Every structure is written in C-alpha cells, then in structure tokens.
Structure 1
Amino acid sequence: MKERIGNLFLKYVSANVLGMIGYSCYILADTFFIARGIGADALAALNLVLPAYSLMNGTGLMIGMGAASRYTISSTKPEGTLHRTIFTQALYLAAFAAVIFSSAGIFLPDRIAAVLGANADTIGYATDYIRILLIFSPLFLGNNLLLSFVRNDGAPRLSMTGMIVGSLTNIVLDYVFIYPLGMGMTGAALATATAPVVSMLIMSVHFIKKRNHFRPVRTRLSLVRWGDICTLGVSSLVTELSSGVVIIVFNYLILGLNGNTGVAAYGILANIALVLVSIYTGIGQGVQPIVSRYAGKDGEEQRRSLRRYALATSLSFALLSYLLIAVFAVPLADLFNRKHDPILTDIASNGMRIYFVSLFFSGINIVAAAFLSSADRPKQAFVISILRGFVLIIPVAWILSVLFGLTGIWMAVPVTEAIVCALALIFLFRKDGALS
C-alpha cells in the first residue's frame, strides 16, 4: 500500500508542481517584459495591482478546490445526488463571482488602482492593466474550476499540460504585444487573459474523449452548497489572498522608506515569490485528491504516508530554491532592471536573501492547510491561512519596519511564517498521534 501511495503522490504532485510553475509564469512573464519593455514605473504599477489578481485567482481556487474536494469525498457515496450536482453548483458560484469582478473592471478600474496605492506616475499603467484583468475574470475563474475537476477526475497530467501550454502562450503574446505591437500594459494584460482560454481548450479533450465523470446537470441553485464549497476551499483563497495583502502592506511601508524604486524592487521579489510559492501550492493541490479519497478512519495509514512525502518534498524544494537565490540574487535582480539602476539591484538582491528564508516555513504552512482542508478539517486549515495571511503579517511588518527599516520589512514574512509553522505542525500531527 505504501508503494501505491508513493506512486500516486509522484503522479499527482509532479504534474501539479510543473503545472503550477507554468501557471504562475502568467504574471512573471509580464514582470520581465514590462520591466524590460516599458520601465520601472510600469513595473511598480504591476506590483500595485497584483493584489487584485490574487483576489480573483484565489476566488477561482477556492471554488475549484472546495468543490473538487467535496466531489471526491462524496464519490464514496455515489448513490446520493451531491456527487452529480456539485460541479453545476460550482459553475453557478463561479458565474456569480465573475459578474462582480467584471463589473468592477468596467466601472471602477481607476478607483481600484488608486486604493491599491497608485500615484501620478503609476495610475495610468495600473488602470490599463487592472481593467483588462477584471473584465476577463470569467476566463480565469472557469479555468481554475476546470483544472481542479479534471485533476480530481483522474487526469492530473492533462491539467498540467493545460497550465503549461497556457503559460507559454502568454509568454509569446507578451513579447508580441509589448514589443512589435507597442500595446504597453494593455497588451501585457491581454496576453495574460489569453492563457486560460488556451488551457481550457486543451482540457476540453477530457470531454471530447468522454473520460469525464462530471458534467453540468439541471439543478436548483443552493446557497447551502455554495457555503460548503467555500468552507472547504477558503484556505486556498486565503493562501492566495495573503500574498495580495502582504503586497499591499509592504507597498505602503516601502513607499514611505524608498519610494517607487523600493516598490519596483519589491515587485521583483513578489513576482519571484509567486513562482516559488506555486511549487508548494502544486504540492498541496497534488495531495488533495488523494487525501480526500482517504479522508475516513480507514485511510489513516495512507494519510500518514502522504504527510511525510509532502513535508519532505516541500523542505527539499525550499533548500534548493534558497541556495539558488542566495547565489544568483544579483543576476536575478538585473534581469528586471532595464536601466541598470544600481540602487534597484542592491535593494532587490539584499532583500531576496532575507525575504526568502520564509520558504522553509511557508511551504509547510501551505501544504498543511491544503492537507487539512482535503481531509475535511477546514477549520484548522482556515486558522493556518488566516494567521499567515492577515492576523500576524500586518502587525509584524509594521513593528519590524519601525525597528529596522527596509530590512525589517524583508524580515516580516520569515518571522510570521515561522510562528505559524509551529501551529501548523501541531495541527498536522495531533489527530494522527505522535510525530512519526
């Protein structure tokens, strides 16, 4: 059985880690081409609007992960109606969320950009980007929902392919729209919005070949079922949203210390962090279908094996990632420094070596939240996510910035993640007995 669990872990986690790395490159590609093709103010503007992307993407993950978890858990009782109707309820919920996001993109893009901290130098860039991003929110939400269900329906490699090919499409279109066509921030946003379309087209193979066990059915909208989906998936939303909250708080603090140059430097860190954190999100999404399958008392041994594999994998990735960042911090910063500003490179490279110590703890926290939610323990998953995303990071960042300036801001994430990590480990091991 252990060998079987190991094979399942490798199959699902490898596919999802690769897919999430590709998926996270949506924004990273924008960062590179905007920094090199438009300039530092545009890069600062992109960093300012990332929280809106985090909220939209997190909402899609919440709906997709929550509904897919309930779909897998309920599949052990196929005689009920829940297994057949949960995908449709998730579609209703995604459509409702899409109306809200799209309306905000049509009517309020400039106000949203201002609230997120855009000033006279960045407001135009920020408004152009956020308008397109929110108007096309149905594509992002639909893609997240389909990715979760296709993965849980036994096709993790297909979902991985969709994410990777979509990301590659985004990179190509970023270059075309920003350089030859000169479309600026609008072009970067349009390239990003095209990626989920390509991803969904690839995943449509699952339906064309009739391998799907889920499909839209005629059923009444259920607010109770919406609540259940959100409860199981809220840790995914908070995990994603936490990066947006951190960005907002850090942007305001850094603006007061180093101005737009500091915000641009943090933009480099934040976007690299998106890729690195996506590895842990991929591990969490990879174990989710397997943990949900063994959520009952009879699956305790399998869950213990999965827990060991997941934690060992996250720590291994953390060690490798940090070593690469510590060695190549300056070249990484220079990649996004169009004008070769030595101050920008210095701030970003020094910040990386402090900020990314958090990887050793954040990986455990993200995996723990996904694991607990998939095991139908959403309250504990929510506590982990809310502590690291909101409750601790804001006061810690403010206190450390007062005490140590910009260095204190870089320290805030590692300190917060380390505190939450202690609690996450207690939650993970308490129910299943002693550490083993």
Structure 2
Amino acid sequence: MKDNYYLISKSFQRYLVPSILAILGGNISFMADHIIAGKVLGSNALAAMSMVNPLFFLFTTLGTLICVGSSTMASICLGKEDRHTANKLFTLTALLVLILGGLISITGYLFLNPLVNLISDGKELHAMVYEYCRGLIPGSICIMAVYLPLNFFRIEGRGHLGMMMFLIMAVLDIGLDLYFTLVLGMGMFGLAIATVFSSLIAVIVMFPFLFTKGGYRFVSIGKSIRLVNGILIVGSPPALNNFYSVIRTFILNMLILAFGGPVAVAGFAFVNSVNTLAQAIVSGIAQTVSPLVGVFYGEHDVISIRKVFTLAIKFGLASMVVFSILISVFARQICLLFGLTSTGQQQIAIPALVICSLSLTGVMVNQILGYYYMTIGRTKIANLLTLCRGLLFIVLAALMLSQVWGLYGIWISFSVSELLTLAIVMITARQTLRRERELSGVLLLNHRDVDEGRFISFSVDTNVEAVMESSDKISDFCENCRLNPKQSMVISLAIEEILLLMLKQVFEGKDHDSIDVKIFVRDDRVIMRFRCGGRKFNPLEYYKTAMEKSHGPEDLDTDESMGLKLISKMAKKVDYSTNLGLNNIIIRL
C-alpha cells in the first residue's frame, strides 16, 4: 500500500502552468512598457522607467502583503474544513484593498511633486518620471487589486482564471501602450494610464468568477483585528521582498548612475525587464508551493508536503538552468529588441544580462524556501531570508565589489547575495532543529505520526480489485494503531464503500487513474481522507437525494445508499469539499 503521488504531481502541474502564465502575463505587460519606452521614446525613457520601478514595486508590495497573506491563511483554513473563516478572510481582503489603495491613490497624487523629486534626483530624467507618475499614482488601487483574484483563484484550484485575468491585462496594456504613444502621442503619461486601465478592466471582468461554483461569499467580518494581524504577519515575507526591491532598486540606480551614467541605468532597466520573464517562472513555482503546502499543512500531511517541495526544487532548478543558457546565447538579439543598438549600450547591457543570469538558480531555491516557510508559519525565518537576499547582502556586496570591479562588481553581487542567503537559511534551520527536537530536516516538519505508524498515505487504482485489496490490507495498519474492532471495521468498510462509489460515479468504470487515501490516528481522533480528480461528485448530496426519493432510510435498497447509511451512522462526521479543485471526502471517527 504505497502512495504513487499521482494526484500531487497532477495538482502541482495544474497549479504551476496557470501560476506561471498569470505572472508572465503581468511581467510581459511590465516588459512591454520598457520595450515601447526604449523603442518609441528613446533610451532616456527606458532609464526613467527604471527610476519609477521602485514606486511600481511599492504598489505590488502592498497588494502582495494583503492578498498573499490572507489567501495563505485561507488555504490552511480550507485544509481544516473551516470555510467560514476563509470567507471572512476574503471579505476582509477586499475591504483592505479598497481602503488602503484609495488612500495611497489620493495621498500620492497630492504629494506628487516631492515624490518625483525624490525618485528622479531632480536631474535630466525628471520630466519623463513626472509624466509617468502623474498617470500611475492615481491608479495605484487598480494595480493592488489584481492580486486579490489571482491568489484566491489559486487556492480554489482555479488558477486558470487568474491566468486569464493577467493575459487580458497584458494584451490590453500592450494595445493601449501602442495606441497612446504612437497614435495619440501621449508619451510616458500614456504608458502609465495604459497600465492602470488594463489592470482595472481585467479585475472588473474576472472578479465575478470568484463567486461562482461554490466559491467565496462576502460575510460579516465582526471583530477581525486578530485576522488583520495574521494577514500582515503571514504576508510580510513576499511583501517585504517587494518593499526591499523598492529600496534596493533605488540604491542600485544611484550607484549605477554614479559609475556609468544614464546609459548604465538603461542597461540595468533592460536587465530587470528581461529578468521579469525568469521571475514569472520563479514566482510561479514558489507560489504554487504555497496553496498546496497550506492545505496539506492544515491536514498534518507531512509526506505530501515533502513531495510538493521536491517537485518544486527539481522543476525550478532545471528551468532556471535552461533560461540562463538561452538568454546568454541570445543576449545581443534581446538588446536589439529593447532598442539598445549602439556599441556603448551593448557593452554594458550584454555583460550585465549574462552575469546576472548566473544568480537565477539561487533565486529559485531561496524563493521556494521563502514561500514554504511563510506558509507553515515560520515567518521569522522567511523574513530573515527575504531581508538577506532582498536588501542586506546585495547592497553590501554591490557597494564593496563595485569599488573593485566597477559595474561588473554590481552585477556579480546578485549571485553573491543568493549564496550567502542560502547559507544563512541552512544555519538558521539547524539552530531551530536544536531547539525543537521533534522536528527534522530543512523543512522543519514533525514526522512523529509517520515514524510511529499512526499516519498512512496510499493510492488505489481505479478498479474493483485494487479497492477490495486495500480494504483487506488496511487491517494491518489498524492493528498497529491498536484500534478497537469497531473502528477497524468502519475504516475497512469506508474504504470499500466510498471507493467503489467514487469508482462508479466519478470515473464511470474507467481505469488508469488513482484515488488517494490518507488515515490519521491520534489519541481519540481518527480522520480518513479520500481525494481524487475526475468529475465533481458529492456523495453526501447523492445520499440526500436518495433519501428524498425514498420513504425513509429503511426504503434505501441500493448497495451504494446502504453503504453510505452505515458509514454516516458509525462516523462522528462526514464532510465533502473541493479543496485543490479535487473531490475530498473526510470521515471523522
């Protein structure tokens, strides 16, 4: 009786592709702004975009803080079958985005001049920076709002809707960029309002889908200070990552400007823009870890957590190696795409792109670890990781190495920062293991139930023979856990009846699929979980319908209904949910 990890791998892939494409859609929009700025408005416009990037990152920081924090908490609630709290978190998130986004839009516009003077340093790029900020700041609430549907779609197993939202946003942004700059001649202001309008329209189109197919509901939030505090704590690592990007980009812009002038700043903007493609893969994989681990953590399923993490690391490292090779080989062609055609521009941009690409494997590992620790509640470790790689190490390395190798030292500092951060994480994890001896490994998980044989996870092929065999073999597990005869009988009966029912109703007799069974035994609790893909089917509704068609329980004459009747009588509680976009049946004895 072994777990083939089929459903975990399938769920990982189903989450991964929409996550990458969703972020890629947003990043393509970001990159398109830079390409059009460089090709249509000149290299100074590209440098001005680099100056404004910290402000853009600030808006995404706040959206990430609220939406990632709340959705991560909601995923754990769903793992615990607490739908009401998940709806409270959803309602609270929408309210916080409206209030905070509105305040930033109004306040930012009122203090537009001082803000522009700060980020442009009052020099030759001031006019272009001002025009872009004049269009971007009033619409900051729209940029923040896109993170709400994206993250809440993801934990429902409907990441493809978040992907559609970001693809709509990308297509609209590119079209409006070209129309406002080439047709209307609106320059930097046109690029900014294109970003705002595309975000607004995409959110308006996709937001209603949050409420369909048994989705979320607005509920009374009552006294939710505790939840707000939790959102801020849980969402702090990715939010601080964006916030540190604001400070880091500002400092590096000033440092690069001092060493190479506007041409070097344009080269840095070029590198950042190209790296948004890599960031789509990095963030897509890291953010795929969060909802899956969140649900499994709520279920105390350490085996599935380890499998998700392993899948993420393997796929992430392979993809970053391929990406680094490709952009190194085609670096010159990518420069031409951004309008960097002169020899002087390419002498700065090409080495910067190639050297910075070497840091991407480290970026991948650290991002996955950051989202993982955030999800399991190890926020201090996640925040330490974020501080080290997002600001502290890279700024210190850039300041020191630039004195030795100039601009090359700045590019090298990205790889140095990731390596030092990984070392700090390993040291911190080891210290944690010394304090909390019940934990093990860098993932800091408690394997006691698995080691003691009180947790079992196995997969059953979708055929009658496999179901009957698993129903018989489970007696060994029950005996090892010292369950009484009644409990053992219910477990064996539940496996047989539930799986046969799912076989008929979900898979309709088709083979070559799999159903996961997980049994958790602790003290006076026995929890059974059955999970499978295929057609959505709620056995509780099925039993209810059969009851309504009959004259009472005694009149239920089908084998399926009789099995459900027996299990319902013997179990404390039977629930059904669609966590991770799968059929989930939970039986508590």
Task: Compute the TM-score of the two structures, normalised by the length of structure 1.
Answer: 0.94
Counterpart in the other structure of 2:384: 383
Query: CA, structure 1 residues 192+228, in 2 after alignment: closer, same or farther (shift >3 Å)?
Result: same
* Kept after mapping to 2: 8 A contact 1:355/1:411: yes
* CA distance in 1: counterparts of 2:150 and 2:45, whole angstroms: 31
Q: Which residue of 2 aligns with 1:352?
A: 353
C-alpha distance in 2, partners of 1:97/1:364?
Answer: 32
Q: Which residue of 2 aligns with 1:52?
A: 55
C-alpha separation in 1, matches of 2:93 and 2:66: 6
Q: Give the deviation of 1:22 after TM superposition.
A: 1.0
Q: Deviations over 1:323-359 (max 9, x none)?
A: 0111111111122226x32111110001111112110
Deviation track 1:283-314 (CA, whole Å, cap 9, x = no partner) reads 12222111100114731110110111111111
* CA distance 1:256–1:285, shift in 2 (3 Å): same
CA shift in 2, pair 1:259/1:79, >3 Å: closer
Distance in 2, Cα, partners of 1:212 & 1:187: 40
Superposed displacement of residue 368, structure 1: 1.1
Find out whether 1:197 has 2:210 as its counterpart. no
Pair 86,40 (structure 1): closer, same or farther in 2 beyond 3 Å = same
**1:191 to partner: Cα distance:** 1.0
SS in 1 for 2:137: helix
What are the Cα deviations for residues 231-278 of structure 1, in whole angstroms up to 9, with x where unaligned?
Answer: 111111122233333311111111111111111111101111222112
The corresponding residue for 2:186 is 183
1:409, distance to aligned residue in structure 2 (A): 0.7
Shift of 1:190: 1.1
Matches of 1:154 and 1:202, distance apart in 2: 19
Identity of aligned residues (%): 24
Q: 1:55, 1:348 → 2: CA distance?
A: 26
Q: Which has the higher contact order (CA 8 A, sep 6+)?
A: 1
Amino acid at match of 2:400: I
1:71, 1:83 within 8 Å by CA — same for their partners in 2? yes
- Aligned partner of residue 23 in structure 2, secondary structure: helix
Shift of 1:83: 2.5
In 1, the alpha carbon distance for the partners of 2:409 and 2:403 equals 8
Three-state SS of the structure 1 residue aligned to 2:442 is helix
Name the structure 1 match of 2:297.
Answer: 295
**Partners of 2:256 and 2:170 in 1: CA distance:** 30
Question: Is residue 2:163 matched to residue 1:150?
Answer: no
The answer on 1:410 being equivalent to 2:411 is yes
Partner residue, 2:280:
278
State the 1:195 CA deviation. 2.1
What is the distance in 2 between the residues matched to 1:89 and 1:173? 32
The residue aligned with 1:266 is: 268
Q: How far apart, in 2, do the equivalents of 1:114 and 1:415 lie?
A: 32
Deviations 1:358-380 (A, max 9, x none): 10101111111112212222222
Q: Deviations over 1:71-130 (max 9, x none)?
A: 111124445852331112212222232133212431122322222234432111111212
Say which SS state the counterpart of residue 86 (structure 2) adopts.
helix
Structure 1 pair 79–390 and aligned structure 2 pair: CA distance change class (3 A): closer
Aligned counterparts of 1:402 and 1:381: Cα–Cα separation in 2: 31
1:163 paired with 2:166, answer yes
TM-score (norm 2): 0.70
Distance 1:245 1:411 in 2: 19
Which structure's CA Rg is the greater one? 2
Look up the match of 1:313: 315
Q: Which residue of 1 aligns with 2:489?
A: none
Distance in 2, matches of 1:235 and 1:104, equals 25
Q: 1:259 to 1:104 in 2, by over 3 A?
A: farther
Match of 1:10 in 2: 13
Partners of 1:163 and 1:199 within 8 A in 2: yes
The reply to whether residue 429 of structure 1 matches residue 442 of structure 2 is yes
| 1:215 counterpart SS class | coil
Report the equivalent of 2:420. 419
Residue identity matched to 1:156:
G
* Matched ranges for 1:61-140 at <5 A: 61-78=64-81, 81-140=84-143
- Matched-pair contact (CA < 8 Å) for 1:162–1:198: no
Alignment gaps of 5+ in structure 2: 430-440, 448-589
